[in-house]
């Protein structure tokens, strides 16, 4: 039941699934970024809270992407070392 699935998949299918995962995460991350950039110039919905700082918001939305890229790079190497 808990056998490694990598031994059951051909390298071609594994590679295809890997790139599918990258594509899905890329699209989702784009929508996340879009929301942040779209709301940057606007005032908060609730005027009681402080407005976010533009540069800080941009940095914060880019940082997770760096983490994802690092992981995908590591996963790709691990996938091809199996």
For another protein, the binding residues (CB under 8 A) are 1-7, 9, 14, 17-18, 21, 24-25, 28-29, 31-32, 35-36, 39, 44-46, 48-53, 56-57, 60-61, 63-64, 67-68, 70-71, 74-75, 77-79, 82
Short-list 7, 3, 1, 2, CA closest to 79: 7
Copy the structure tokens of residue 38: 């779209």
The least distance separating another protein from the CB of residue 52, rounded to whole angstroms, comes to 5
The least distance separating another protein from the CB of residue 69, rounded to whole angstroms, comes to 11
9 Cβ contact partners less than 8 Å away, ≥ 6 residues apart: 17
């Amino acid at each position: 039941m808990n056998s490694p699935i990598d031994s059951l998949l051909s390298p071609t299918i594994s590679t295809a699934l890997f790139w599918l995962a990258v594509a899905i995460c890329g699209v989702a991350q784009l929508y996340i970024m879009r929301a942040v950039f779209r709301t940057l110039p606007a005032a908060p919905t609730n005027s009681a809270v402080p407005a976010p700082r533009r540069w800080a918001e941009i940095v914060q939305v880019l940082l997770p992407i760096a983490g994802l890229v690092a992981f995908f790079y590591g996963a790709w190497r691990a996938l091809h070392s199996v």
